[in-house]
Amino acid sequence: MRNCLLCEQEFIPPVYFAQIFSLKKFRPTKICLYCLKQFEKLTDNRCTICSKNMENGLVCIDCKNWQSLYHGNVLRNHALYRYNAAFHDLMVAYKRRGDYVLREVLQELCFEYLKKIQFDYYVPVPTSPEHKKKRQFDTISAIYDDILTLTPLLGKKAGSHAQGEKNKEERLKTPQAFFIDKNVKVNENIRTGKILILDDIYTTGRTLYHARDCLQEGFPEAKIESFSICR
């Protein structure tokens, strides 16, 4: 028996067939089935570029805008869940209230998928210095650091406000606030390697495009994609 990290009810973690015969250490389940079901998986009807669920068509309106703004140089984003009320509540508790243990719930939601895809470098979107100081931890790195080997190449300038405090129009007008941290040692092969930028939520795409632009300027030949748990 174990207590669910979200509802605190006791539950029996499921045992999967593969688990019994595998010598590999499995991540223990942290939330009960009831809570897990509150998170809505994205269906297959999705934008081929950013993974947003759509009724029909191949490219969503947001990506069409990015396509014209960037002359076709769009950012392929992997995503798993729809940003619904359950996610909103989880993110408020995690980011605004700074409940560090909830990173384990987020890890549980994306761990299997990240194990399946293969990239050479995993670069988290950084938190601004002010927010990091307030919460005592970097919200994005904290999610992925236990699952992947991170290369924290990006820094965020002080004084740049978080996207969550803005409306859509303001978000899209946000100026570039990222820079490449020259203190981070990288292998020469990053120049032509595959980089996956990691974030929690893809809202307008503005943050991830800025992160991509910054990395592309530093490593013009690298192949860059992004991952967000929600779209």
List interacting residues with Zn ion (CB under 5 A).
4, 6-7, 32, 35, 47, 49-50, 52, 60, 63
CA atoms within 13 A on the CB side of 170: 8
* Closest residue by Cα to residue 65 from 44, 49, 79: 49
b vs e for 47-65, b when ≥16 Cβ sit within 10 Å of the residue's Cβ? bebbbbbeeeeebbebbee
The SS3 of residue 143 is: helix
Find residue 154's DSSP bridge partners.
180
CA distance 97 to 150: 25
* Closest residue by Cα to residue 123 from 229, 4, 226, 15: 226
Q: Looking at beta carbons only, is 52 or 210 nearer to Zn ion?
A: 52
CA distance 80 to 23: 27
Q: Provide the minimum distance between the beta carbon of 138 and Zn ion in the complex, in angstroms, as a whole number.
A: 26
Q: Provide the minimum distance between the beta carbon of 125 and Zn ion in the complex, in angstroms, as a whole number.
A: 18
Q: Provide the minimum distance between the beta carbon of 60 and Zn ion in the complex, in angstroms, as a whole number.
A: 3
Give kind and range of the element (H or E) at residue 102: none
Q: Provide the minimum distance between the beta carbon of 30 and Zn ion in the complex, in angstroms, as a whole number.
A: 9
Q: Provide the minimum distance between the beta carbon of 67 and Zn ion in the complex, in angstroms, as a whole number.
A: 9
Q: Looking at beta carbons only, is 47 or 177 nearer to Zn ion?
A: 47
Q: Looking at beta carbons only, is 67 or 174 nearer to Zn ion?
A: 67
Q: Looking at beta carbons only, is 75 or 148 nearer to Zn ion?
A: 75
CA distance 230 to 75: 16
Q: Looking at beta carbons only, is 77 or 141 nearer to Zn ion?
A: 77
